[in-house]
Amino acid sequence: MHPILSTVLQRLALGLVTLFVVSLIIFSSIQLLPGDFAQAVLGQAATEDTVAAFRRELGLDKPAIFRYFDWVGGVMTGDLGTSFSGRAASGVDRSRSVAELIGPRLMNTLFLALMTAIVAVPLALFLGITAALKRNSVYDKLVSASTLTTISFPEFFVAYILILLFGTLFWDFPTLADVRPEMALGDRIYKCVLPALTLTLVIVAHMMRMTRAALINLLASPYIEMARLKGEPPRTVILKHALPNAWAPIAAVIAFNLAYLVVGVVVVEVVFVYPGAGQLMVDAVSSRDIPVVQACALIFAATYILLNLTADIIGIVTNPRLLHPK
């Protein structure tokens, strides 16, 4: 078997094992959430028998190990379960499937992530590569200082500053990103300007600095020094010698930050009241809607693992040592 194929298969198997372990952690952590959904719905005046009957209806009376395997088995068949929201002690069941709840919210989150990535990824790579090539210059110091300043502020602080500047003082961008399915694309983009700008400032800083560090480390390698000593022009050194080995760290940087866009967008969604999967997860935790919390956490974990696996595979298939084994 070719070394590339065997390495890729090993990474995929490791990703599946990681997802299984993460599912155990998610399920175990949710069991530690304070409060009881059945008691919260029925109220403090409910008798123990009524609470017990309601827990049986929800399946919360089963041992944790059985509930875990029921959940995992359902996920493997595409069934994420049924939301506890809408359940009532009167016997009227107005609950909805978890997939039905998460689907539109996840599409909103992916739209915001895509809108941010289209701007942030090329900008961050350009700044990182040019800063690395002009190391210790005024340009490099200015870009590094600016990104370091941005990294120092938490996302919610950046969001509030942008709301103050672009939503109140100088421009009139919407401060609430209340998008709806029937909105036209232009209106949706206009509503998402401030959330996307907040995320762009955050990930551009991280991605630029990581790209710069990876390239500086690469440009200090002995084979790069040898190419320069042989008199090859800087363009040839970068395109022929540096870039083929730079794809792996650059892909890792991009994948890490794209995973952050999908997984770490919760704070920004809450600040701008954006109807995404992160906001749904926060609401589900508040209402103790266990199936929705589990599904959101598993989707976020699977997205993070998938993007990091993609970065690993790109690094493997572009590795000259594996492409041309001795």
Q: Which residue has the higher pLDDT, 146 or 257?
A: 146
Residue 318's nearest CA partner among 248, 223, 238 is 248
The pLDDT assigned to 89 comes to 47
The pLDDT assigned to 320 comes to 61
pLDDT, averaged across the chain: 81
Number of residues that this document lists for the chain: 326
Residue 197's nearest CA partner among 144, 129, 259, 268 is 268
The pLDDT assigned to 319 comes to 64
- In the predicted structure, residue 311 carries a pLDDT above the cut 70: yes
In CATH terms, the superfamily for domain 111-282 is MetI-like (1.10.3720.10)
Mean pLDDT of 9-27: 88
Q: Report which listed range, 164-178, 182-196, 209-223, is most confident.
A: 182-196
Confidence of residue 41 (pLDDT cuts 50, 70, 90): low
- In the predicted structure, residue 145 carries a pLDDT above the cut 60: yes
- Which helix or strand (DSSP H or E) is residue 16 part of? helix 3-31
- In the predicted structure, residue 240 carries a pLDDT above the cut 70: yes
Confidence of residue 1 (pLDDT cuts 50, 70, 90): low
Q: Report which listed range, 150-159, 162-171, 290-299, is most confident.
A: 290-299
C-alpha 58/C-alpha 52 separation (Å) is 10
Confidence of residue 90 (pLDDT cuts 50, 70, 90): very low
pLDDT (tens digit, 9 = 90+) per residue, 247-271? 777 777 787 778 778 777 788 888 8
pLDDT (tens digit, 9 = 90+) per residue, 266-310? 888 888 888 888 888 888 887 777 888 888 889 888 888 888 888
Average the pLDDT over each of 110-124, 193-207, 219-233 and give the range with the smallest value. Answer: 219-233
Determine the 3-state secondary structure of 82 from DSSP: strand
Q: Which residue has the higher pLDDT, 326 or 208?
A: 208
- In the predicted structure, residue 172 carries a pLDDT above the cut 70: yes
Write the DSSP string, 94-122: ---BHHHHHHHHHHHHHHHHHHHHHHHHH
Q: Where are the domains of the chain?
A: 111-282
Residue that the structure tokens 């920004």 belong to: 268
Residue that the structure tokens 């299984």 belong to: 20
C-alpha 160/C-alpha 168 separation (Å) is 11
